[in-house]
A and B are shown apart, each in its own frame.
Chain A
Amino acid sequence: MPELTAEVDRLSLVIDIGGMPVRVNTVDPGFVAILQQRYSGFVGESDQPEIEFDVELTSPSFADPNAPVEVTQRHGRWSLRRGDFLAEWEPASRTGKIRQTANPYSIDAVLRIVHSLVLARRGGFLLHSASAVRNGKAFLFAGVSGAGKTTISRLAPPDATLLTDEISYVRKESSGYIAHGTPFTGELARLGENISAPVAALYLLAQGPYNRIDLIAPADAARGLLANVLFFAEDEELVQSIFHSAFDFVSRVPVSRLTFVPDSRVWELIG
């Protein structure tokens, strides 16, 4: 009797951002190729991923990636929803599902959200900031769109290694706060290097007529930090965690306002 079903090969890829490997399973080799290109430098080989997602690809249809993101938790299961994707993730089993079309932007949003949730629980956060490593130390440059993240990244000297021009990945370790490179890009559209270093300073960016660093008071520092933390969930426990992490961060890491003229001399003040 002929087989009524055919076994479909399942393909896998591990995307390792911030030391947290996430395995993505799909049956579509074209989608794997898209991910390999999108996450070049962040594709790992871990046998023990922290999360495993099965991706179900749907037919292309109109879907608005600018629609608001909804992130909710019910009975230990997270639901992540935007116009262009629907994802579920269960931390206890470390597994989840993503339903989207074959594009890299939807899964990128899912990864950002999942990383932000995991980091929040562990005392870290994703921050709207460029970051770079110089002399073995990481420097973060935070600000809203137009504040100068792309500019400061573009002006970085050859001895500075860019971790990201858009979203910094900050983990809390026993030794302090560590910044990791991310593939989450901004206008520069250049992936960060997949390296990490202890955070030496956070600068809140302001463009002005001179280059100057002004240390700011802890309360202003906390406000500036919280204004730039990426967080999507309406979850009381995680909001509490993010809030208290911000205060812990500013008690350990110097936070300053960096006013700068958009030319490379600003980097004479950094490092």
Chain B
Amino acid sequence: MSKLFLRRNPRVAARNLDGEMMIMSARNSNLFTLNRTATILWQSADGTTPLDEIVQNRICAEFEVEPAEALEDAEKLARELASHEILQISEEPIPQPSAGSAR
């Protein structure tokens, strides 16, 4: 199974308030509130840590869940977040935008 890498879309506005992660799309101003698992994916989406490591180290550590099942669910969730342009996903590491480049 190939690796999957996630990166936060720099074109959204994000804020964590009292543990709730809220995201607003700059494209259409849609507002999203992330659940706990989606929040973990968002916080861990640095473009270089593969999804299976995020699942192993963050999701399985927090929830009592089988790693294989957790990875499958996490991948579905990551793709859904990507469909809303909240996350970017790739089978290759995704470099962070360099300082000074367009956000």
The interface of chain A, by Cβ under 8 A from chain B, is 217-219, 222-223, 226-227, 231, 234-236, 239-240, 242-244, 247
> If A226-B24, A227-B31 touch, does A239 touch B17 (CB 8 Å cutoff)?
no
> If A217-B18, A236-B11 touch, does A223 touch B26 (CB 8 Å cutoff)?
no
Best-buried of B11, B13, B20, B25 by chain A (most CB within 10 Å): B13
> If A223-B31, A231-B29, A235-B26 touch, does A240 touch B17 (CB 8 Å cutoff)?
no
Residue from the list A218, A227, A234 in contact with B17, Cβ < 8 A? A218
**Would you give the shortest CB distance from B85 to chain A, in whole angstroms?**
12
The reply to whether B31 and A219 form a contact with Cβ atoms under 8 Å apart is no
Chain B residues with CB under 8 A of A247: 15, 17
Give the residues from 1 to 47 in chain B that come closer than 8 angstroms, CB to CB, to chain A.
Answer: 11, 13, 15, 17-18, 20, 22, 24-29, 31, 33
CA distance A222 to B22 in the complex (A): 9
Query: Given known contacts A222-B22, A227-B31, A247-B15, what 14 new A-B pairs fall within 8 Å (CB)?
Result: A219-B17, A219-B20, A222-B15, A222-B17, A223-B22, A234-B27, A234-B28, A234-B29, A235-B26, A236-B26, A239-B13, A242-B24, A242-B29, A247-B17
Q: How large is the interface on B (under 10, 10 to 19, 20 to 34, 35 or more residues)?
A: 10 to 19
Q: Is the interface of B mostly helix, strand, loop or mixed?
A: strand
Scan B34-65; emit 1 where CB is below 8 A from any A CB, else 0: 00000000000000000000000000000000
The reply to whether B26 and A240 form a contact with Cβ atoms under 8 Å apart is yes
Closest 3 A/B residue pairs (Cβ): A243-B13, A236-B26, A219-B20
Best-buried of B17, B18, B28, B31 by chain A (most CB within 10 Å): B17
Q: Is the interface of A mostly helix, strand, loop or mixed?
A: helix
Best-buried of A227, A231, A239, A242 by chain B (most CB within 10 Å): A239
Chain A residues with CB under 8 A of B25: 239
Residue from the list B18, B20, B22, B29 in contact with A239, Cβ < 8 A? B29
> If A219-B22, A235-B26 touch, does A240 touch B13 (CB 8 Å cutoff)?
yes
The reply to whether B15 and A234 form a contact with Cβ atoms under 8 Å apart is no
Write 25 A-B pairs (CB below 8 A) sorted by A numbering. Answer: A219-B17, A223-B22, A223-B33, A226-B24, A226-B31, A231-B29, A234-B26, A234-B28, A234-B29, A235-B26, A236-B11, A236-B103, A239-B13, A239-B25, A239-B26, A240-B13, A240-B26, A242-B24, A242-B29, A243-B13, A243-B15, A244-B13, A244-B15, A247-B15, A247-B17
